[in-house]
A and B are shown apart, each in its own frame.
Chain A
């Protein structure tokens, strides 16, 4: 084993940095447009099973029904219930930007009022002892001038008492 320790080994150190332009599609295009222009969070409803998806889906995964009918879109939230959560206390590399995650970072699995399918977003609360299942939260939406038409137009979800 000692001989092994003196053996020189070669490594190839590389950082892959591949640029992407992801098209979100028509359905999310509409969702982000409504969020940016009107500050409203929308869900869409599947005409077959009746589930309300937030974020909206183009096709219902259960029964394959196409869900692009605009008349079946309903505003949901901005209040909701935390169904589960996690809190990161260790930082990781975020591959989309190359930056390290700012910790502590809490994410809630949130059921917005009016929706039947959950969404994930950052929670404002970072004291783990204060995050409880079934606690009520409300989306904090950026002022219109700052909105860009992406998921960060919702800053995070703040805890509310009800």
Chain B
């Protein structure tokens, strides 16, 4: 049986497009000091440090070593996560394993990325084999565009629904002082943006941002002493799919990593009505079709119903089931940081500390997800109470 793990401290930097006054180490230090302050602890209380960042995106390889002074990892055990979009969720899950095993009581988990220092699309292109697929992938957008086309084809979703999603996310991000793109867009603004890769136009793709998020995780015995409002990491599921053939679930028999994750998590936790039994979902949504399509794929709603929920306004911040009330990855994407930020934002919602972007319903359980171009999905369940 695993020991219970709670989030007892949260710290995030503001996110932006360019920040040349600060180097990557200083960015991490900012998030770490905020998380430690939130938990009322010092770096000396941390027993292990998990660092998450994408190698190569800033021109560094194994940069957790270069930056271990700033993260506090120097002299402490820990891991480096390097798994694409899921870096952040995997970093938090690594911290969870350390504590759940009973071997550690307090861990620091950090995710960061500084995209203003390198080109993301060519870097992402290198996740494919160099002889064949690398010539045809063109970064993350290619794959996401193809699944969007397939979704529109099978479900009846239209471009306007993706535009509605982006417009709603901009309203949410406007209320989040730490988000990157905070301008409010109307549906017309989104529809008229420049086309990048059909059907995704510039506003339907996530930006490249920079920022860092850190969290302090603690075991049950310590959590209750440290924090008045611990957020319990109740359960999580990680699923990988094969590279290539089952690409994001295209073809006749769709069975994607998201579907597997949702099925497992809800079954294990006896959740039959996810939109009732959880009250908010911070989804890793790197493109506008993600919210309707992946809500279906995670088995939170019925197939082909996702875009209808968008149309009804059910998924926006004030709606019945808010998805990504922080603005999501659509408004802020610093890859190594994005997924851990989903957990941090979901935890803030559970604590009631979402400030201006706090959802209206009382949050007892929240979902957070990560998705990576290395063909895998993470789905986490956070809870206000231990059981």
Q: Does chain A have a CB within 8 A of B45? A: no
Q: Within the assembled complex, what's the spacing in Å between the Cα atoms of A105 and B145?
A: 13
* A92 lies within 8 A of B150 (CB): no
Nearest to B150 among chain A residues (CB) is A84
Q: A88-B138, A88-B142, A118-B250 are in contact. Are A93 and B121 (CB under 8 A)?
A: yes
Q: Does chain A have a CB within 8 A of B149? A: yes
* A83 lies within 8 A of B251 (CB): yes
**A-facing residues in B217-265 (Cβ within 8 Å):** 242-245, 247, 250-251
* B139 lies within 8 A of A120 (CB): no
Q: Mark A141-160, 1 if CB is under 8 A from B, else 0.
A: 00000000011100000000
Distance (whole angstroms) from the CB of B273 to the closest CB of chain A: 32
Query: Which of B88-96, B124-132, B172-180 has 4 or more CB atoms under 8 Å from chain A?
Result: B124-132
Interchain CB contact (< 8 A) of B149 among A7, A22, A85: A85
Nearest to A98 among chain B residues (CB) is B122
Distance (whole angstroms) from the CB of B162 to the closest CB of chain A: 15
* B147 lies within 8 A of A22 (CB): no
Q: A88-B197, A95-B122 are in contact. Are A101 and B131 (CB under 8 A)?
A: no
Interchain CB contact (< 8 A) of B250 among A28, A61, A84, A94: A84
Q: Does chain B have a CB within 8 A of A117? A: yes
Chain A interface residue count: which class?
35 or more
Q: Does chain A have a CB within 8 A of B20? A: yes
Residues of B within 8 A of A20 (CB): 130
Nearest to A131 among chain B residues (CB) is B198
Most chain B CB within 10 A, of A61, A85, A120, is at A120
Q: A92-B138, A121-B136 are in contact. Are A53 and B198 (CB under 8 A)?
A: no
* B132 lies within 8 A of A133 (CB): no
Nearest to A120 among chain B residues (CB) is B136
* A16 lies within 8 A of B59 (CB): yes
Q: Within the assembled complex, what's the spacing in Å between the Cα atoms of A101 and B131?
A: 17
* A86 lies within 8 A of B149 (CB): yes
Chain B interface residue count: which class?
35 or more
Q: Does chain A have a CB within 8 A of B216? A: no
Q: Within the assembled complex, what's the spacing in Å between the Cα atoms of A84 and B197?
A: 13
Q: Within the assembled complex, what's the spacing in Å between the Cα atoms of A29 and B196?
A: 35
Nearest to A128 among chain B residues (CB) is B198
Distance (whole angstroms) from the CB of B250 to the closest CB of chain A: 5
* B251 lies within 8 A of A118 (CB): yes
Residues of A within 8 A of B243 (CB): 61
Q: A16-B59, A118-B247, A128-B198 are in contact. Are A92 and B139 (CB under 8 A)?
A: yes
Residues of A within 8 A of B121 (CB): 92-93
Residues of B within 8 A of A109 (CB): 146, 247, 250
* B242 lies within 8 A of A120 (CB): no
Q: Within the assembled complex, what's the spacing in Å between the Cα atoms of A118 and B198?
A: 20
* A96 lies within 8 A of B130 (CB): yes
* B195 lies within 8 A of A89 (CB): yes
Q: Does chain B have a CB within 8 A of A4? A: yes
Q: Does chain B have a CB within 8 A of A122? A: yes
**B-facing residues in A111-127 (Cβ within 8 Å):** 111, 117-118, 120-122
Residues of B within 8 A of A76 (CB): none
Most chain A CB within 10 A, of B141, B196, B245, is at B245
Q: Does chain B have a CB within 8 A of A90? A: yes
**B-facing residues in A2-23 (Cβ within 8 Å):** 4, 7, 9, 11, 14, 16, 20, 22
Q: Does chain A have a CB within 8 A of B135? A: yes
* A96 lies within 8 A of B146 (CB): no
Q: Mark A64-91, 1 if CB is under 8 A from B, else 0.
A: 0000000000000000000111111110
Lowest 8 CB-CB distances: which A-B pairs, in order? A86-B145, A117-B245, A61-B242, A95-B122, A84-B146, A120-B136, A84-B150, A92-B121
Q: Which residues of A contact B (CB under 8 A)?
A: 4, 7, 9, 11, 14, 16, 20, 22, 24, 28, 51, 53, 55, 61-62, 83-90, 92-96, 101, 105, 107, 109, 111, 117-118, 120-122, 128, 133, 150-152
> Could you list 8 A-B pairs, sorted by A, with CB under 8 Å?
A28-B132, A61-B242, A86-B197, A87-B198, A89-B197, A89-B198, A94-B125, A109-B250
